[in-house]
Structure 1
Amino acid sequence: MKNNLLACAMACYSVLGLSGCVVGPDFQAPVPKLAANWAPVPTETGHSRAVESAVDPRWWDSFGDRQLSALVREAQQSNFDLQMATSRLEQSLAIRRQINADTLPEVDGTASYNRSRNSQQGLNDPSGNGGKQAFNLWNGGLGFSWEADLWGRVKRSVEAADASVQVAAEDRHGVQLLVLVQTAQHYIQLRGTQQSLAVVEQNLQIARRSLELTRLQVQEGVATDLQVSEAAAQVAEIEARLAPLQQRSAQLINALSMLLAREPRALQEQLSVAAPVPAYGASVPIGLPSELAQRRPDIRRAEAQLHAATAAIGMAKADFYPRITLSGSLGLQAMQLSDLGSWGARSFAFGPGLSVPVFEGGRLQGGRLQGALQLQEGHQQEAGIAYQKTVLRAWHEVDDALVAYQASQRRRDSLQQAVVHSQRALDSVHQQYAQGTVDFLNVLTVQNALLANEAALVDSTAQVSLSLVELYGSLGGGWQG
């Protein structure tokens, strides 16, 4: 008896001693090679410039708009897409816990009672009654099994599960970043639309005063009905611009409500009062180029996918090798309940089991396993290419965003000068018209030019802030905060 137990223990110890050999390639995190060749585009004097300092994880607060900051905070707490991404992450964690359970022994407890009677003509009756009468059979015990991870199959599966959890986490980070960017963009667009409304209303007042002046001049005989009609048409044309802007404003408020998981028009009272377009300071920190891979969720996700694909190769290689499972049971069996606790009722069994892939469906397993390995190697190759593409696209997006930010500032500066000159021209032409030295067509021309330049200036001012939000989105800043 003791010799059997000793032999079983030695066999288990030998199997355990073999554990720890892990087949397949170990994952090495890729290092982007493009960082050393990239630098921010030079900026002109007087413009907000990009500097290589740490990215503010709460960049939206740098706009100095309390309403924007409050909306961003609420969006991070309430957004449905972010909640779904969080749920997917929790599901991935649950799958990881299931897979990790394979590293531990499986222990089952059993208990049963049977009232039975065997055939008198069949096999021997273990009850000793020769099949002449029924008997009771009481069973109880514990059984366990554990796969000795000789080749690291289970370890690689846990490694792949960890990488899949990381993929889900980066998906959530990506959704969070998108929510931040969209909230800021919608808010800036709303304020820009409200400013455009103010410009149109201001020009409408000017047009109405021109119409009144023209009517007075008709009474005095220095203007014609044609000029009155032209002035009235100008008023109607400017009034027609109000409705689309009002519609756009309502839609943007609803878009913000959707991002905050609130009903339509829930933010109408809060946001209906016009406010300036949020503006940024003179310095825009964009971080070090080498840190971009650590900030962008899509790059981190691509790296995690590559990690999972690499671990899957080890799992496929481990399937070529035998699997050894240690199993055993310890229990009690008796025909009388009162005997179930006696020493003689004990039973046990221990020993390793070996399974080797040979045939499946009449085919050699080697061909199937080789195909599975080649498939996983193909997945790893594809994931590696996808990582390189993701990194390259990230650099392009950052560079394009920087160029757009600087171009939008130059356009805004030029339009500011255009508005100043148009305003001076309108004041001058009004004086000349009142004096009768120019006709009303000149007034219409100059006023339309001013309206167009003011509308373009409002749009470009909003575009500067929008392009900055796009820049921070491309830098991957925000989800850390």
Structure 2
Amino acid sequence: MTPSETMKTAMPDRGKPAGTSWNRPLRFLGMLIMTTGLAGCVVGPDYQKPDLTLPATWGAAQPAKSSRPPQLAEWWRRLNDPLLNDLIQEAVAGNLDVATAKAKIREARASYRKAVGALLPSVNGSGSVTRSDNGSNVSSGGDITVSGPYTQYQAGFDASWELDLFGANRRAVEAAHYGMDVAEEDLRSTLLTLVGDVASNYVEARGYQARIALARRTAASQRETAALTRVKFESGASSAVDVANAAGQAASTEANIPDLEASNAEAVHRLSVLTGRPPGALTARLRRSTPIPRPKLPIPMGIPADILRSRPDLRLAERRYAQYTAKIGEAEAARYPSVSLAGSVSTSGTKIGDLGKNSSIGWSIGPTLSVPIFNGGQLKAAVEIAEAQRDQYFIAYQSAVLTALEDVENAIVSLAQEGVKSGRLAVAAKHYRDAASLGRSLYQSGSQSFLDLLEAERSLYSAEDAFITSQVAITTDYIALNKALGGGWSGTVDASKPAVIDTNTGPHLASSGGKFNLLGQHN
């Protein structure tokens, strides 16, 4: 190499742009980032979905020729009640529990983005302008001497990045991703419960209306019997005791109506609140009585393994178990060394134009190693805490599966046995109806005592009321079975829209909102 070539190599190239001196540290930082990212690893257990052994068939169900999965999508439409369909649509749109579940989804998504951001470097810029006078000459940039007051301009940025050598941040991202799944399944579980509650309360309201109508019809018939008894008493063919018993029975039947009206109002109020409205909002729409919705039976129930896919509460429990498995890796990574990179570039001068000159630029870059040596066993204890929490959610998942199986089995038995009961009650009501009709005719002709007629009418009312109650129970058990199998809302729900729309969120003067003044006193 010639002396002139040596001179050219040693001295800076004044012909290059002012920012060229930044390139070398930035290239070094970029290469280190890529190399470290490729070499990174993770600690802690890798999640594996539990393999549970489930029964091959439902124990309480009759053997079926086909084990096809149940048709759970919009199962309530098979009740053929347009108003019920409308109320479920309105509940999905307006229910406050659903709105809360939507907010949890937005929170989980934001938490995931925050966790992902921890994998990336952070960069902060800074700048300042300072007017000074220290009574002495100040040399700026090596070329200009300033005497007296002067202005100092400074600019630069700092960058830092924690190298995820043992996967702490990646485990956090994994846990946050599972957290999003948990929030979404929580929304589906909320919708499943909501649809079931709306349908159950609607059926109960229709049942109370039918029982109220029955009580009024029966009371009217019993008043006619009381009037007939009084006529017979006035003609000497009956006693005052018969007249009193007849009037008392009619009044006793009428006394059931207020309780039934109150129960009906409670069901309507619950429906209104479920749709996100005040309690009395649906009173007018539900005032006109309609028949109790009746399901079309039987329904296919599939096999027990189907509920692992169809029930959102089970999927939620499994995702929660996965989330806390990832958290073990977060805690375990804290026991290993950590490395972070920090770098800065700064420039200063007495003129803005001096900020980009090579002579005013300074930079620094370097790694920082942190090794846990002694912490009193805290880090090991943190891992054990995470493992114990993971075990709790694993057990909770197993418990949820067993509870789900129990729910289905119970609903199957209840629906089947209620069907048998309803059939017997229908036969009993028919016989009591015939007995009451015949007894009235015989009583009018004087061939039967009043006490026999009184017992026949009382038994008829009891049997018909029990039959209506059983019809409600059949539909309620049908709803419970669909819920137990995992049937819920299958449509889309937009969780991106916040419940509160904030305005004027940029820099502005604080407002008391009409509640407190600047001194903290309530207005």
Q: Retained in 2: the 8 A contact 1:117–1:131?
A: no
Partner of residue 146, structure 1: 161
**Letter of the aligned partner of 2:238 in structure 1?**
A
Q: Deviations over 1:348-399 (max 9, x none)?
A: 22222222223xxxxx127111111111111111211111111111101110
Q: Which runs of 5+ in 2 are unaligned?
A: 1-11, 13-20, 492-523
CA gap 1:115/1:99 in 2 versus in 1, 3 angstroms: same
Partner of residue 178, structure 1: 193
1:229 Cα offset (Å): 1.5
Q: Retained in 2: the 8 A contact 1:119–1:125?
A: no
1:29 to 46, 49, 52: 49
1:97 Cα offset (Å): 1.5
Residue 422 (str. 1) matches residue 432 (str. 2) = yes
**Letter of the aligned partner of 2:48 in structure 1?**
Q
CA gap 1:336/1:79 in 2 versus in 1, 3 angstroms: same
Once the two structures are superposed, the pairs formed by residues 332-371 of structure 1 within 5 Å of their partners are 332-358=347-373, 364-365=374-375, 367-371=377-381
1:299 Cα offset (Å): 1.0
1:456 Cα offset (Å): 0.3
Q: Retained in 1: the 8 A contact 2:311–2:485?
A: yes
**Letter of the aligned partner of 2:331 in structure 1?**
A
2:39 to 14, 18, 35: 18
1:408 to 418, 439, 445: 418
Q: Retained in 2: the 8 A contact 1:51–1:283?
A: no
1:289 to 304, 315, 338: 304
Partner of residue 104, structure 2: 88
Partner of residue 237, structure 2: 222
Q: Retained in 1: the 8 A contact 2:115–2:173?
A: yes
- SS for the counterpart of 1:190 is helix
Partner of residue 458, structure 1: 468
Partner of residue 72, structure 1: 88
CA gap 1:17/1:315 in 2 versus in 1, 3 angstroms: same
1:457 Cα offset (Å): 0.2
2:181 to 148, 157, 166: 166
1:135 Cα offset (Å): 3.9
1:60 Cα offset (Å): 0.7
Q: Retained in 1: the 8 A contact 2:60–2:413?
A: no
Q: Deviations over 1:326-364 (max 9, x none)?
A: 222233221322322333322222222222223xxxxx1
Partner of residue 101, structure 1: 117
Q: Retained in 2: the 8 A contact 1:166–1:301?
A: yes
**Letter of the aligned partner of 1:82 in structure 2?**
V
- SS for the counterpart of 1:326 is strand
1:392 to 381, 398, 402: 402
2:330 to 315, 324, 332: 315
Residue 60 (str. 1) matches residue 76 (str. 2) = yes
Q: Retained in 1: the 8 A contact 2:72–2:482?
A: no
**Letter of the aligned partner of 1:199 in structure 2?**
L
Q: Which runs of 5+ in 1 are unaligned?
A: 359-363
CA distance in 1, matches of 2:340, 2:58: 54
TM-score (norm 2): 0.84
Partner of residue 361, structure 1: none
Partner of residue 256, structure 2: 241
Q: Retained in 2: the 8 A contact 1:116–1:134?
A: yes
1:110 to 102, 118, 126: 126
- SS for the counterpart of 1:285 is coil
**Letter of the aligned partner of 2:327 in structure 1?**
A
**How many pairs were matched up?**
468
Q: Retained in 2: the 8 A contact 1:50–1:284?
A: no
CA gap 1:177/1:16 in 2 versus in 1, 3 angstroms: closer
CA distance in 1, matches of 2:250, 2:30: 99
Q: Which moved more, 1:61-70 or 1:221-230?
A: 221-230
- SS for the counterpart of 2:209 is helix
1:286 Cα offset (Å): 2.5
**Letter of the aligned partner of 1:367 in structure 2?**
G
TM-score (norm 1): 0.91
Q: Which has the higher helix share?
A: 1
CA RMSD of aligned residues (A): 2.6
CA distance in 1, matches of 2:270, 2:476: 16
CA gap 1:383/1:126 in 2 versus in 1, 3 angstroms: farther
Q: Retained in 1: the 8 A contact 2:118–2:169?
A: yes
Residue 432 (str. 1) matches residue 449 (str. 2) = no
Q: Deviations over 1:20-64 (max 9, x none)?
A: x111111111122124364552289xxxx9964333220111101
- SS for the counterpart of 1:330 is strand
CA distance in 2, matches of 1:12, 1:56: 50
- SS for the counterpart of 2:245 is helix
- State percent identity of aligned pairs: 31
**Letter of the aligned partner of 2:484 in structure 1?**
S
Q: Retained in 2: the 8 A contact 1:218–1:224?
A: yes
Partner of residue 205, structure 2: 190
CA distance in 1, matches of 2:91, 2:29: 61
CA gap 1:444/1:351 in 2 versus in 1, 3 angstroms: same
Partner of residue 381, structure 1: 391
Q: Retained in 1: the 8 A contact 2:57–2:303?
A: no
